[in-house]
Structure formats: structure tokens, C-alpha cells
Amino acid sequence: MPATSHVRIGRVYDPPSAADGARVLVDRIWPRGLRKDAARLEEWAKDVAPSTELRTWYGHDPAKFDEFRRRYAAELQGPEQAAALNRLRALAADGPLTLLTATREVDISQAAVLARLLTEDA
């Protein structure tokens, strides 16, 4: 099996970079104030995003991140979520992949959890 290429995380509001490779939004809700053509996305992977219930409970509270990561990993076991995660794996295998989110704290976001899962698979 080929090694997974570089998986990065970033904010969807940041300017695109040539090093981004495939740019995939991993939020369930479209980011405020961002035109769809300005995002320059390969895909919008809504099915891999946390549920509304989990996102609301978490609220990007750093103290809840470990529990968020556990609950989110459990959600990713669902059939639609697993298929969306497999799609990200395929994109990562083809070249650089940048997982994008609108949150200000990307290091404690679903993008960070997904990036870790994808790089552990390598």
C-alpha cells in the first residue's frame, strides 16, 4: 500500500497555497462570508463533519477536546461517515491534502482529528 502523502490542516479563510494539494472543507455548515468560488475547494466533505449535536456540545472548549476526539471517532464509524473518510484517504494517497475548517483554533478541531486519523493509517 502506498504511503499517505502529507496531510495538512488550515482555515478555509486563509489564502490557497500551491502546496495545499487537494483542498477539502470538513465543516458541516458553509463558512460565513465566504463565496464558494473563492474557497477553491476540491470537495466539501459534509459527511465527515461532526454531527450538529456533537459540535454544539463541544463548542471548541479545549478542556473537552479529548472527549470530543473520542466521540467523533465513534461517529466516524457510521456508514456515510466511513465512506467519506475513505474518500479522504484516497485523496491523501494521491498527493498533498489540506483539510479546511472555519474554526479559529484548527489544532482542536475536527480537521486535526481527521488529519491524525489519516496519518496514523499511513
User: Do the Cβ atoms of 85 and 79 come closer than 8 Å?
Assistant: no
pLDDT of residue 5: 54
What's the pLDDT score for residue 97? 96
The per-residue pLDDT for 82 is 95
Residue corresponding to grid cell 466521540: 71
pTM of the predicted model as reported, rounded to 2 decimal places: 0.91
Burial class (CB in 10 A: 0-12, 13-18, 19+), 43: middle
Domain residue ranges of the chain, discontinuous segments joined by +:
7-120
- 63-69: long-range contacts, CB 8 A cutoff, minimum separation 24: 65/108, 68/108, 68/113, 69/113
Please report the pLDDT score of residue 2 as a whole number.
38
Predicted local distance difference test score (pLDDT) of residue 4: 42
pLDDT per residue, tens digit, the chain (122 aa), is: 234 458 999 999 999 998 999 999 999 999 999 998 888 999 999 999 999 999 999 999 999 999 999 999 999 999 999 999 999 999 999 999 999 999 999 999 999 999 999 998 65
Burial class (CB in 10 A: 0-12, 13-18, 19+), 71: middle
* d(C-alpha 98, C-alpha 21), whole Å: 7
